[in-house]
Amino acid sequence: MKEKIQSNRSRDVALAAVLAALYAAGVYFFAPISFAVIQVRVADALLPLSIIFGPPAVVGLGIGVFIGNFANPFSLGPIDVVGGTIANVLATTLAWLICRRKFHGAWVTATAAEILVITFVVGSYLSYLTSTPILLTWSYVALGEVVAVGIGGYALLRAVTRVMKGKQV
C-alpha cells in the first residue's frame, strides 16, 4: 500500500513538472502572440487537461504560467505574473470541479468556464496596464482564449482521453 501511495505521489509530481515545463516553453516559444492586448496564448491549450488530471495539472499549469510570465521579455511585470497565475489556477480548478460532477456537457461547460475566468481576470488587468478600454481587452482576450482553450484545448483533451482509454492513469 505504501508503494502505491508513493507511486501516485511520484506520478503527480512528474505530471505537474511536465505540464509546468510545457506551459512555460509554449509561452516562451510563442512569445510574440502570447502577450499584449491582442493575444492567442497557445500554451493555454493545455488548461483543459486539468479536467482529467486534476490537482497535479492545476499546480503544474499554475507554475508554468508563473515561470512563463516571469521569464519572458514581453511580460508586463508583476501584475501580469501574479494575475496570470491566479487566473490560470482559478480557471483550471473550476474546470476540474465542474467535471467532477460528471454531467452531460461537463467538458464544454468546464472549458467555457476557463475561457470566461481568463477573459475577465486577464482582460481586466490588461486594460489597466495598457490603458485600453476594458470591453476591448475582454473581447480580444476572449477571442484568443476561444481559439486556444475552446478549440485547441478541447481537441487536445479529446485526443489525450482517447489515448488514455483502457489504460490506468
Nearest to 51 by CA among 121, 10, 12, 101: 101
Task: Flag whether pLDDT at 70 surpasses 90.
Answer: yes
pTM of the model: 0.91
pLDDT at residue 5 greater than cutoff 70: no
Residue 6 belongs to a domain:
yes
Q: Residue length, the chain?
A: 169
pLDDT tens, residue by residue, 149-169: 999 999 999 999 999 886 654
Asked whether residue 169 is assigned to any structural domain, the reply reads no
72-115, pLDDT tens digit by residue?
Answer: 887 788 999 999 999 999 999 999 999 999 899 999 999 999 99
Is residue 62 in some structural domain? yes
For the segment 111-139, what is each residue's pLDDT rounded down to a tens digit?
Answer: 999 999 999 999 999 999 999 999 999 99
Q: Please report, for the domain that includes residue 84, its CATH number.
A: 1.10.1760.20
Q: Look up the domain containing 78 and give its range.
A: 2-35+42-164
Q: How many domains does the chain have?
A: 1
As a whole number of angstroms, the distance between CA 93 and CA 133 comes to 29
Instruction: Report the C-alpha gap between 9 and 116 in whole angstroms.
Output: 31
